Each structure stands twice: as structure tokens, then as C-alpha cells.
Amino acid sequence: MNVSETAAERVPLRPLIVAAAGRLAEAGVGSPMFDAEMLAAHALGVDRMRLALIPMIDAETAARIDHSVEQRAARIPLQHLTGTAPLGAVDLAVGPGVFVPRPETELLLAWALGFLETQPLAHAPIVVDLCTGSGALALAIAHARPDADVHAVELDPDALRWARRNADSRIAAGDTPITLYSGDVTGPFVVEHLTARADLVVANPPYIPEDAVLDPEVADHDPHRALFGGPDGLDIIRGMVPTIARLLRPGGATAIEHDDTNGGGVAALLSSADLTDVAEHTDLSEKPRFVTAHRPSNG
């Protein structure tokens, strides 16, 4: 795209976006038109759905879009360029040093909220998010269920800083505060005061097998500590299952996201911890994506 340096010049927006999408497609970006529109919307400070209402833009804005498209073509994650990633009804600040929430996790979130809806509790529901990263699941649940008492655990100090930033932002927006902890989810004493009290435990832990081939956006920009779960992808989940079993109250439930090769492995781990009603769930591409289980009401 050739952009005049004359600030007064007006540039048609739609042809610019189409050209940007072509550039991104050539670079191997998986969703070139969506990404081009998101970058244009970010530069203009509008929602993507409002781009059709803006036929012309100034050359300075066109230059900003052009620069961000070049960065995206270099496979810098879209979310690092816009500075946010959504989960549920919450927009989370993300960037270098923290895992970028994925759309697949929306299904786990929906299951978790549906489970809470079915619980006739006489108390505020207690929710624990293990490996919270940016705070995504914890904050999305707290937003949807302002009556919930939400706790979130993260070991990595960089990710925890992002989680605190997002938690502060959600408080400013009027959401119920969550409680953040620095801790190892595989340790025997993490959030020990919640033992046998949690109504729901959710987790999107590091679960990718070490030999997996990843897109550049992931391999070069997501922190490896947030991605890899040992040779088979189950190291963190294997160590985390005893924590989940300890935290759940009788009748409580858990949902764990996993690599699409490991649904059966996660189900087996939960069954071995004496959890029941173990169920495997697929994502919108029909790939195994998360497993749920319950602690028996009588145990």
C-alpha cells in the first residue's frame, strides 16, 4: 500500500483493508480479512462492525494501519497489536509475557457458567481458576456472576502482573473483585484455606506436548511456560488433579482444557482421583477440547 505523506489527503478505507488482507494472506495469516479489519478498527478507535460507516480516512491513519499490517504480516499476534483479547463479555489486556486467551476457551466458560446456574446454593458460589494467566476465566466468571467468590492462582510473575492489571481494570468497570494468588497449582498447599469448599474449579493450564509444531504467533510470542506440559502435554494437569480433588466440595465440579490429543488422558486422570461423571467435550471443530468431572455428593 502506497500512502501519501500529505496529511490532508483522504484515502478510501475499504480498498486499503482488502489490500491489507491480501498482504496478510500472502504472509500465511489464518484469518487475513478479519485481522485486517480488526487492525483498521483499532487504528480508528471504532468497533469492527462500524467500518462500513467510514468510507474515507486521512493519510496519517492509513499509515498507522499500514504499519500494523506489516507487523501482523511478520506474525506478531493480532492481540499484541490491538492490546486486548476477549473472553466472554470481558476484554483483557494482553501482550508479551502472558498467554493470549483463545476462542476455544469460550466453550469451557459457557459450561462453567451453566454448571453454576444449576446449583441451588445457600452461599455465594466459590470458584477457583488454576493457571489463570491473564485472569481470563476468573474475570469472565466474576463478570457473569457478580455474586461469586472467585479465586485465581498463577505461578509466573509476568503473567500475574497482567492478571493484576486486568483485575484492577474490571474493578474500575464495576465488577466484583477477584482474589489473586501467586502459587504452584501442583503444590499440596496452594489455596489450602479453600480445601473442600470450592463449588467449581476451572483450569486452562500449559498442555501442549513438547514436540508440537506451532504457528509463529504462538511459538515466538506466547511464553513457553504457559504452553508446554511436558513430553505428553499432561505434566501440569497430572500434578494439578490432586489439587482439584482436594479443593472441590462434595457436589462440586471441575473443567480442564487440554490438547486435542489428550481428552482420554485427562479423563483417566480425573477418574483416578475418584471424581465421577467424567465427560469429554469437543470444540466447534469437533476436536477434543476440555473434560469435566464432579466430586461425588457423598464423598
Domains, in order of start, for the chain:
10-74 (1.10.8.10), 84-295 (3.40.50.150)
**Binding-site positions for substrate:** 204-207
**Binding-site positions:** 154, 204-207
| Average pLDDT of the residues of the chain | 95
> Burial, 94: exposed, middle or buried (Cβ in 10 Å; 0-12, 13-18, 19+)?
buried
Q: What was the pLDDT predicted at 8? A: 59
Average pLDDT over residues 2-17: 74
Question: What does the pLDDT look like over 96-110, one tens digit per residue?
Answer: 999 999 999 999 999
Question: What does the pLDDT look like over 33-49, one tens digit per residue?
Answer: 999 999 999 999 999 99
Indicate the pLDDT class of residue 3, thresholds 50, 70 and 90: very low
Question: What does the pLDDT look like over 51-108, one tens digit per residue?
Answer: 999 999 999 999 999 999 999 999 999 999 999 999 999 999 999 999 999 999 999 9
**Binding-site positions for S-adenosyl-L-methionine:** 154, 204
- Residue 192 in this model has a pLDDT that exceeds 70: yes
